[in-house]
Structure 1
Amino acid sequence: MPRTIITGLDGSAESRAAAEWAAREAKLRGLPLRLIEVREPLPEPAARAPFPGAAEASPADGRETAPEEAAAGLRLRHPGIEVTAEQVPGRPHEVLVKAAEDAELLVLGSRGLGGLAGFLVGSVGLAVVARTERPVVLVRAGEQAADEHEPDPTGIPSAATRYRPVLLGVDVDRPDDAVIRFAFAEAARRGTGLRVLHGWNLPPYYVHGLPAAPEVHRAVADQQAAALAKTLSPWRAEFEDVDVVEESFGGSPSIRLIDASREASLVVVGRRVRRNPFGIRIGSITHAVLHHSAAPVAVVAHD
């Protein structure tokens, strides 16, 4: 089956923003876009119960055409991309995880945190991110195309200006090619730069009571910066048109990533796949970024 970009549609502001973002990404990638509206079956008693207006209309009236109407609007606003739409019965996270198996990318919406920058990732979004092995992008309600671009000369963001940089969080102790390649490729598609952040900590014996001399701190900092440069070196060679800024620093990367997301078009983080029967985890850094990023967040699963 040809690869597609898939987005979940439920009529909410966040799902509409996700669909618009997915359409822009489909155009960048030259891929078709597939809209999926998941309809959970009603419990048997509720399905049999009468409802207002039952004599005049079917329960499905107005819903059956909603995905197609959304698809038609996207075709008008984003000419040149192929958009299909469908309704699928089932539980949302199960349907979307299954659909993602045939997707290049899955795009979901998340509610914005009012006047604060960031997301409120619901249970469906978290369940899908934690279970799918395909890249998932979370887009908050209100996200606009102009938000991904540098301000124009008047200081107002504009879709006519250059894309803001893509932001990538890297762990040099356990770097993963899938995550790094995804970030470089997204920067290349956008014709923009890549900002890479790597946070590190001093060895435990310094943290637990033994003071670190300044020269020790400098030595560790130099070692970590060199490790980051080595990790990115082959990717710089492959994506030679992407301007890369490397930042290695002491401390947790989550706060830095969240702060830097205000000037990014897309934030890319990884999620280690854990195939065990006792539950699933997203990871503390990825979890924090998902909830507080000011830009769309791509979560790339890896072994």
Structure 2
Amino acid sequence: MNRPVVAGVDGSPSSLVAAEHAARAAVLRTCPLHLVHGYLHPLGYGIPINPYEMGIPAPSEEARKMLDQTAADLVGRWPGLNVEVRQIAGGPGATLVEESRRAELVVVGSRGLGGFGGLLLGSVGAQVAAHARCPVLVVRPAEEPIPVQGPVLVGVDGSEGAELAVGYAADEAARREVELVLVHVRAPGEEGPAETQALLDTAVAATRGSHPGLTVTVRLLRADKPESALIEASGGAGLVVVGTRGRGGFTGMLLGSVSQSLVQHAHCPVLVAHPYRQAR
């Protein structure tokens, strides 16, 4: 099954930058690209906003032109890219979560149309990052230059989520032909126990074994909070990969505090390492 890379596009600058990153991801994965526009209000979730109005509004010609133009621009930059455009009657967040069940990757911008300027991640991006059924790439705004050739960073803490994130990070570093940096954060003055070194050694051996030739380094950082150290380290990275929850995460939380902080504040795109879930 050749699952597509899916990008949510609403015509906003943030979504158009996300579409560019999605196109690049599709080329690297040899996947088709699906540009999707959920055309009901985000609070509509696939039903008319007016409860007394019968029926679903028709797709808009303006949105169709926007999607077609975006697709043409991307194919012009990446000849041979297979692009499909679709308008779907549903709230943007709910639409992308549903699409994620059959996707290789979902890409969202940090803010779409109607986003509040003070929010670093809009409601749609937050919804998709938390609920998607496949990995999610959250792309920062266009006004922040993104070093696409920078290394791929991933935190290592021994949690199940971090193990999955390390695997995704290694795959991404190999595709991009860049360095993979395994980051472990300790509190100031804390001595690293022997099991921590064994954990890092195992992660290095696993990534080098699965990706021969990949440059893998370990970076030990000191900080009271791991999210602070990872956010600062993301400044020189091309991508940071996070698990959905790390050690000590509350089971009921869809994204742990470290993941939430990075999705909101990282200086580069963030890949949220959701496991793949089968389409129903």
- Structure 2 unaligned blocks of 5 or more: 41-46, 113-117
Give the match for residue 96 of structure 1.
96
> Amino acid of the residue matched to residue 172 of structure 1?
G
Give the match for residue 21 of structure 1.
21
* Cα separation, 1, equivalents of 2:52 and 2:62: 19
Conservation of the 8 A alpha-carbon contact between 1:119 and 1:293: no
* Cα separation, 2, equivalents of 1:111 and 1:60: 21
* Cα separation, 2, equivalents of 1:229 and 1:244: 11
Q: Deviations over 1:231-290 (max 9, x none)?
A: 3322222212111111234443211211111111111001049xxxx9643110011111
> Looking at CA atoms only, which structure, 1 or 2, has the larger radius of gyration?
1
Residues 1-303 of structure 1: pairs in structure 2 closer than 5 A:
1-40=1-40, 42-44=48-50, 60-111=60-111, 120-142=120-142, 147-149=146-148, 163-174=149-160, 176-201=162-187, 217-218=190-191, 220-221=192-193, 223-251=195-223, 252-272=225-245, 280-302=253-275
Following superposition, the deviation at residue 176 of structure 1 comes to 4.6
Aligned length in residues: 257
Conservation of the 8 A alpha-carbon contact between 2:9 and 2:15: yes
Kindly, what percent of the aligned residue pairs are identical? 35
* Cα separation, 2, equivalents of 1:119 and 1:292: 10
Conservation of the 8 A alpha-carbon contact between 1:224 and 1:248: no
Following superposition, the deviation at residue 87 of structure 1 comes to 0.2
User: Given the superposition, is the C-alpha separation of residues 128 and 59 from structure 1 closer, same or farther in structure 2, using an over 3 Å criterion?
Assistant: closer
Q: Deviations over 1:85-116 (max 9, x none)?
A: 0100012221111101111000000049xxxx
* Cα separation, 2, equivalents of 1:98 and 1:241: 37
Following superposition, the deviation at residue 174 of structure 1 comes to 4.1
* Cα separation, 2, equivalents of 1:79 and 1:143: 26
> Amino acid of the residue matched to residue 197 of structure 2?
A
- Structure 1 unaligned blocks of 5 or more: 49-57, 113-117, 150-162, 203-213
TM-score by length of 1: 0.76
TM-score by length of 2: 0.82
SS of 1:11 mapped into structure 2: coil
* Cα separation, 2, equivalents of 1:64 and 1:47: 24
Following superposition, the deviation at residue 223 of structure 1 comes to 4.3
SS of 2:243 mapped into structure 1: strand
* Cα separation, 1, equivalents of 2:81 and 2:159: 40
Alignment root-mean-square deviation, CA: 2.9
Following superposition, the deviation at residue 297 of structure 1 comes to 0.4
> Amino acid of the residue matched to residue 148 of structure 1?
P
SS of 2:73 mapped into structure 1: helix
> Amino acid of the residue matched to residue 261 of structure 2?
A
